[in-house]
Chain A
């Protein structure tokens, strides 16, 4: 039962008022169009009007007119024309039952209306769109649109639109069984309609109100309103509303067991609905009649009326089923479209995310690139600084080496002077020649960064020979090179041992009573070579007592040289002085540098 009643709420969407006057209007419009061939806004306007006139009579043939109107509007950049044409196209689709195409056209029109700021058009489109959602039973969205429609109508002071919005919303409330809300909205709509003196609206709204009261079980109120609606409908000649209202009066009276009233109203409704070929209402009328006959005991009539009811009901139901199917189909289509739209949004989001990710990646790459560049630049800078430092160190080293020479030279010159003063000319000569040789060798070698151990030890031997002459052979020297060392392939900084040997001779052995000995040992120690200089002199404590210097200039210079080599080669060369029972041991560790 509820199913059959459901559609009885009269939606104030379109009230087809079709008559000969419309046909005449259409003819004159078409005549006007034939005379106006220029593709401008006037022609577009005519086209829209013609299509509008054809909406209910011949919607299918109206499409070419709107299409031309759209084409003219787009080529002439007439957005208003385009939006009205689109709205008309939507109307045509709606009438043809293609809700989705209609929705599409309406939404396009709405977009344009918003762009050009045509509030009136925007408002009416909200209503159109709301209707479609209502048809598709998308009540939330329908209400959304109707509410916007209501607000716009109020803002524009358009009362008919306000009435339509209110009653359409009420229909939705009633359809969703929120009858109190439905009644509230309908009462408001009714009040406005009366204010406007719009009888059609009053009739339709009153009819709807009656249905709502009926649903609420307030039968007297329902009957009263039905009667009002029926009377007014009769007055204005709207047989749809009249038939519907009369049927409802019949039904309510059956419920109230007023069979006589039910019979009268049912019969009138049946006559009217037969007149207007409204199958649904006929079915309802037959139902009323069947129950009346049943009550009167006219079982044969009752049965035939009931059969008629069922037959018509079936056809209505099948129609309903069909429309339900269509609706379902459309819902499905729309859902699919929505899904597609959502998919599209997701896709776009994905693309957006992709762009974002790309941008972030690009930024990261740029940052990474910058850091790599910076690191490279820093490394280069570091290398340059290191190279510069190395150069400085080399220069320092060279300066230290050249500092050696005067130091040694003046000590030797002092010896020569000593010989001469002692009148030992032959010794002085021999000494001088050897000194010249040594000086030459030192001059040549001190230029070099590294010389072979072999050469360096030869130099040291020559040096010790000279010092031995000077001290009248007071000491002997021994040089021992470990087998693991190749003297001709091992590189050492030139004259690195000389200051220590000099110290041993002059501070260790010279003050000593008796013979002195110097042992030079060279051996490998991992990746270092260990050079030791041992003397059996008086030792450091004695030297200090004798007022000797803490450390000679030569020792200081050598320590500095080793430090610089450590810095350059990243090694751990060192100089250690070890006091022994007798004399001092000097340990010099140098990086093991091989020539080949």
Chain B
């Protein structure tokens, strides 16, 4: 039985989530439903929930503001949101779970299953750290990113990632310190996440950080040499776009 607190400023959202959780049987016990940050803060410290359903947009403030005010994050976190691209991106970077409203019953069950299976409060804290890091340094192109691996998560600075190479459903991430991280996500997952951070998919199997490009040798598609010495083939169809990105004024 998981102890849960729901934070949402709209009653019908609370009602719907409550309905869905109750319909699921006796796996989740809803201990409180809060509409404001102050109330939520009080309830959290009092009730010590296992899982917090947190709406991103709470009137004029956000769910992140609530998290910022909590000293000890000893609960799992599931964000709920309707449509907020910025927040979604932040969740993806920090690998935090989120549910999109109107919440799909199947999605909710999956999220709860994850909470039950991989309860790891330390990691959740780290993910929230990443979230805050990215939130604060909105202008900094180097963001932290929580990379899901086989055994959990690794936090990496996007500014340290040189390139990512696809390997079926996995992705090898090569970083500046000559480290290699194997992520349990497809290259597409990372492409979507990182494309606005100066990363570019030069090839079906390669996503590179353009900040680490040493030179580009023309050819049919050509080759990119990165600062660590690796040569990456450029797909013919990506060549034009790549040149545009490397030398926007030419």
Residues of A that sit less than 8 Å from B by CB: 432-434, 436-437, 440, 443, 488-489, 594-596
Complex Cα–Cα for A433 and B101 (A): 8
Chain B residue nearest in CB terms to A593: B237
Interface segment out of the listed B69-77, B102-110, B170-178: B102-110
> What's the minimum C-beta distance from B250 to chain A, rounded to whole angstroms?
15
A440: B residues at CB distance < 8 A = 83, 100
Tell me whether A596 and B83 are in contact in the complex, defined as CB-CB below 8 angstroms, given that A432-B102, A433-B105, A436-B102 are known contacts: no
B204: A residues at CB distance < 8 A = 489, 595-596
B185 interfacial by beta-carbon distance below 8 Å: no
A433: B residues at CB distance < 8 A = 102-105
18 residue pairs bridging A and B, Cβ less than 8 Å apart: A433-B102, A433-B103, A433-B104, A433-B105, A434-B104, A436-B101, A437-B100, A440-B100, A443-B83, A488-B188, A489-B204, A594-B237, A595-B204, A595-B237, A596-B201, A596-B204, A596-B237, A596-B238
Known A-B contacts: A434-B104, A440-B83, A595-B204. Give 12 more (CB < 8 A). A433-B103, A433-B105, A436-B101, A440-B100, A443-B83, A488-B188, A489-B204, A596-B201, A596-B204, A596-B235, A596-B237, A596-B238
> What's the minimum C-beta distance from B90 to chain A, rounded to whole angstroms?
17
Complex Cα–Cα for A596 and B238 (A): 6
Max chain B CB contacts within 10 Å: which of A436, A488, A489, A594?
Answer: A436
> What's the minimum C-beta distance from B91 to chain A, rounded to whole angstroms?
15
B203 interfacial by beta-carbon distance below 8 Å: yes
Complex Cα–Cα for A443 and B82 (A): 13
> What's the minimum C-beta distance from B235 to chain A, rounded to whole angstroms?
4
A443: B residues at CB distance < 8 A = 83
A596: B residues at CB distance < 8 A = 201, 203-204, 235, 237-238
A489: B residues at CB distance < 8 A = 204
> What's the minimum C-beta distance from B168 to chain A, rounded to whole angstroms?
12
B105: A residues at CB distance < 8 A = 433
B201: A residues at CB distance < 8 A = 596
A595: B residues at CB distance < 8 A = 204, 237
Chain B residue nearest in CB terms to A439: B83
Chain B residue nearest in CB terms to A437: B104
B102: A residues at CB distance < 8 A = 432-433, 436
Interface residues of B in 15-35 (CB under 8 A from A): none
Complex Cα–Cα for A424 and B83 (A): 27
Complex Cα–Cα for A262 and B209 (A): 132
Chain B residue nearest in CB terms to A452: B188
A434: B residues at CB distance < 8 A = 104
Complex Cα–Cα for A569 and B237 (A): 14
Complex Cα–Cα for A488 and B168 (A): 13
Complex Cα–Cα for A48 and B102 (A): 127
Chain A residue nearest in CB terms to B101: A436
Chain B residue nearest in CB terms to A434: B104
Complex Cα–Cα for A595 and B100 (A): 29
> What's the minimum C-beta distance from B14 to chain A, rounded to whole angstroms?
16
Q: Which 5 A-B pairs have the closest CB atoms?
A: A596-B235, A596-B204, A433-B104, A436-B102, A433-B102
A436: B residues at CB distance < 8 A = 100-102
Complex Cα–Cα for A437 and B104 (A): 9
Complex Cα–Cα for A596 and B101 (A): 35
Complex Cα–Cα for A596 and B201 (A): 9
Max chain B CB contacts within 10 Å: which of A433, A434, A443?
Answer: A433
> What's the minimum C-beta distance from A472 to chain B, rounded to whole angstroms?
20
Complex Cα–Cα for A142 and B190 (A): 106
> What's the minimum C-beta distance from B178 to chain A, rounded to whole angstroms?
27
Q: Could you give, for residues 85-126 of chain B, a 1 whenever the CB lies within 8 Å of some chain A CB and a 0 otherwise? A: 000000000000000111111000000000000000000000
> What's the minimum C-beta distance from A566 to chain B, rounded to whole angstroms?
19
B188: A residues at CB distance < 8 A = 488
B100: A residues at CB distance < 8 A = 436-437, 440
Complex Cα–Cα for A489 and B237 (A): 11
> What's the minimum C-beta distance from B17 to chain A, rounded to whole angstroms?
13
A432: B residues at CB distance < 8 A = 102
Complex Cα–Cα for A122 and B25 (A): 138
Complex Cα–Cα for A489 and B238 (A): 12
> What's the minimum C-beta distance from B98 to chain A, rounded to whole angstroms?
13
Complex Cα–Cα for A432 and B102 (A): 8
B203: A residues at CB distance < 8 A = 596
Complex Cα–Cα for A255 and B113 (A): 159
Chain B residue nearest in CB terms to A444: B85
> What's the minimum C-beta distance from A344 to chain B, rounded to whole angstroms?
58
Complex Cα–Cα for A595 and B101 (A): 32
Chain A residue nearest in CB terms to B235: A596
B101: A residues at CB distance < 8 A = 436
> What's the minimum C-beta distance from A494 to chain B, rounded to whole angstroms?
15
Complex Cα–Cα for A433 and B105 (A): 9
Complex Cα–Cα for A440 and B100 (A): 10
Complex Cα–Cα for A489 and B188 (A): 11
A437: B residues at CB distance < 8 A = 100, 104
Complex Cα–Cα for A434 and B201 (A): 31
Complex Cα–Cα for A434 and B107 (A): 11
A594: B residues at CB distance < 8 A = 237
> What's the minimum C-beta distance from A429 to chain B, rounded to whole angstroms?
8
Chain A residue nearest in CB terms to B221: A596
> What's the minimum C-beta distance from A252 to chain B, rounded to whole angstroms?
108
Complex Cα–Cα for A324 and B102 (A): 130
Complex Cα–Cα for A595 and B83 (A): 28
Complex Cα–Cα for A436 and B83 (A): 11
> What's the minimum C-beta distance from B213 to chain A, rounded to whole angstroms?
18
Q: Could you give, for residues 188-220 of chain B, a 1 whenever the CB lies within 8 Å of some chain A CB and a 0 otherwise? A: 100000000000010110000000000000000
Complex Cα–Cα for A440 and B107 (A): 15
Q: Could you give, for residues 145-181 of chain B, a 1 whenever the CB lies within 8 Å of some chain A CB and a 0 otherwise? A: 0000000000000000000000000000000000000
